[in-house]
A and B are shown apart, each in its own frame.
Chain A
């Protein structure tokens, strides 16, 4: 059985809280002295099979750097020949996982996030964020209007862009420009293309608190929204509200679970608790602000 780290963390904390002493007490013959018979050890053995364990992350063996790529390190390939778009920096990587996690919770197509490792200049391993580059991704010139129109014409008429906007505004992502999308080729049974949102590097919790919708430091997200009309993308107010309602309904157990795999990689338990605490105290009020920003200011589009 492969146990998620969430459970392990709770067990670990319980252990620290004193249960461990009781379990290890010489008088407690139930567990004996063998550390391998201790229930925590059993969990540790299970954890070794988990994808969350350091040293079992995919290891990058080739990296083609992106010159001038700001947050993007470039494209990396692991030992299994899987390609990733790589990013560095703890806050950036956490924000990427949170953005992808939120998309997953709302069933919005997004890139699959992974923790990967690489050998750095000094010879030690460091952790990177890797966005899995699926084989089915199409070449798409994101700066070509006619490419956009072709792809949009072949996409299902769902409010995908409205949904991603709701996620971006919730997380204060000010960097949703035209380059931050990928196109997936249709499956064998369908002729329709799918679009994926990528790049949540600037989002909460990289920016803490999240940027208010009309106070984004970078104009990229809003500039792209202003461009929607030219591309034939429409805003679906009903879906926006509905997605915001779903986002506001995610409680702090969701964010805690989302951050769990990152503890020990880019976060400490204390960091995780602080982020979850902020979510508990402020998240719903923030989402109300996000909704109001669009309802009150009718001139945004």
Chain B
């Protein structure tokens, strides 16, 4: 059943004289009277401390407790909003609303509200930025020199190599490089130039990348070429044998980034002929 939830954004002015108010959370007001209103604090302490360094966890907790007291003192939603508004803890006219059919949808909508009103936007954008390994950067640079590197998915139609393409229907999964000429050519990379402590993570990365390629085949066709480029330092060669076995068993052709002859073969398969400088 679809349920209606209202909310007001909680505003905290860390310094009375400066009067700069920050959005720090919400009060969620379910329309269903069986459910209680709840105070949901969302802002990290450092958001307040950027304005006034005297704020600490205890002071913020005390502030939130006060909001909870005001909420509990009032019998209905309108009174809660009016009281919070009269103390300057919210804009009583700015009442938000969403509908949800399940508890998980409520959680999701609250996350959206947090992103919209409370989270530091810069940090969200930063999180979205893809981490690139040295191997991926090296391949990008090589494709750029060959003048075959595309930017957007549309560039596939121009027979360019497009980096970081989401797998259709599974946008969380990516193919590191994708190129189409007759058939699709999916390239996944594994960069083993990491500290020995992190080596164990590479097996799961190999699994994820292999799964992504497998799922991509559903959309790109079973004749899609699966290519894997691995950069393995000499000291890890023995430890990574089972990773390579996994990729081979999944239908990948595996290329050693440190073997120039094999890489020439990779560029023949995974990219169009160079338009610019010759291959390194």
Contacts and interface: CB of A to CB of B under 8 A. Distances in A.
A63 B97 contact: yes
B76 A122 contact: yes
B189 interface: no
B164 to A, nearest CB: 26
Nearest to B117: A67
A73 B93 contact: yes
Nearest to A77: B98
Given A67-B23, A68-B91, A62 B78 contact: no
A65 B94 contact: yes
Interface string B72-99: 0000111001000000000101111111
Given A119-B4, A121-B29, A123-B31, A63 B95 contact: yes
Given A67-B23, A69-B93, A73-B93, A121 B6 contact: yes
Interface of B: 4, 6, 8-9, 11, 23, 29, 31, 76-78, 81, 91, 93-99, 116-117
Q: Give the interface size bracket for A toward B.
A: 10 to 19
A65 B31 CA distance: 17
Contacts of B78: 121-122
Contacts of A65: 8-9, 91, 93-96
Contact of A66 (B6, B94, B97): B94
A61 interface: yes
A118 B91 contact: no
Nearest to A69: B94
Contacts of A122: 76-78
A74 to B, nearest CB: 6
Given A65-B94, A119-B31, 16 more contacts: A61-B99, A65-B9, A65-B96, A66-B94, A67-B9, A67-B23, A67-B94, A67-B117, A69-B94, A73-B94, A73-B95, A121-B6, A121-B31, A121-B95, A122-B77, A122-B78
Given A119-B4, A119-B31, A122-B76, A67 B11 contact: yes
